[in-house]
Structure 1
Amino acid sequence: MLLFFAILAFVLDQLFSSRAAYIHVGAAIGTVMVANVFFVIIPGQRELVAALRDDRQPDPEPGRNALLRSRHNNYLTLPVLFTMISSHFPSTYGNDYGWAVLIALGLVGVGVRHYFNVRHIAPRSIWMLPVAFAALVAVMLYTAPRHADHEPVARVPDSHVAIILRERCISCHAPRPTQPAFSAPPAGLSFESLDTVIAHARRIYVSAVATNTMPLGNLTGMTEEERVLLGLWLETKIEETQ
């Protein structure tokens, strides 16, 4: 099953944006978990109850299948929880190998669940936790946003950045967005004032420059040149506010 979800993550990442792939993988995992409960676990329980009611020996096969599917759901708990909140971590799906990051984090979750499942019968399995923690730290370091190296350039004027924001960002990040998908600015951030942009410079840098996850789906067509200019300006503002 893990191999299936790994292949699914890779395929969906090729078909859609990584952010969409994460959501679709989460939906697939959730669907499998629900199907396990509805088609296997509940019928297995009903068979047991019916056998007790009829005073007969219950068929062990439905119980075995239900136990197996319950274990599947148990191991899938942390991976599906991560996909539910993954949109808050653009450094994961914004990575060039977002599908591999998702697989790695899924395996970390499975490893943690396995430890808690066997800790009472296999105390020596404690080694799984530091291994999972080390893997998690490795993923965090690998996906950490990095400042790009640029050739020395003149200071980017505020007026240039204001134009970029107006053309690429303010359709969503405005008190009254013109983008039909939003009735209010995402995250409550309006970029009509440069002071607001400067106050959230680090967050904007991660989303719009380091991971290229904003604008959402690049619907407004922000160019690489604009990202570089915005990044240089944001880096300057971050340094000035330190």
Structure 2
Amino acid sequence: MKKVFKISGIAIAVFILFSFLFLVYINRDTSKIRNYERPTIYFNPLISYRPLTFEYYAKNSQAVIVGKVVKKEETTETVQAVPGTDVYELQSKLGTSSTTVPRLYVAVEVEKVLKGRVDDKQIELCFALYDPFNKSDLFEMQPGEKFVFMIERRKDKPDVWWVASENRFIFKLNNNNTVYPACWWYDERYKKRFFNITLDELEKEFKKIDKLEKVPMYDEIPKEAWEKLREGENRNVEK
């Protein structure tokens, strides 16, 4: 009988020990994920237009870079409407050929070129659609932080490059050389594909896509992603 109790006691002790180690592992992993920056979500960024795929942006961007943030600046610009565009028709009805729009400029040091050609060591990036009150999917982008941007040269300002993708496809670079896209926390497809992969692995993705003749254009947003976006929106409203 004593032997049975002794064996049972050892078994219970081993079970408790493994349970404790498992809880420590789970808590450590959870803490690790909590440390990742969640981009700010003020509103649902996908409701007013049909979103495009990662492949479409990767294929059609002129260059892809790793940029280290030097500074950022919010400003406004007067944009002249081009005849034949929807904006021109709208502006014509309003009786003006130009409009003032907010812009976000981010100066970055080019640390690595993953696709295309960028000769300058430091360039200025411009976010074409930017609302200072609706920073959808946008990282804080503090000086010294590194990101992967898909870009294209701005025709009216040769020294400036457009950010040529939705904000959700901006990748933040971790200190251990892994990356994650802005949409990692609400879109399970892209989380499985990109979360914590290395920069080298991401570069291979761009090269593989660049060799394709055709890529899917429109992205179908899963129901779960919409729900998590709404959660993010509500969280920021509560703040």
TM-score in terms of structure 1 length: 0.22
Which structure has the higher relative contact order (CA within 8 Å, separation 6+)? 2
Higher helix share: 1
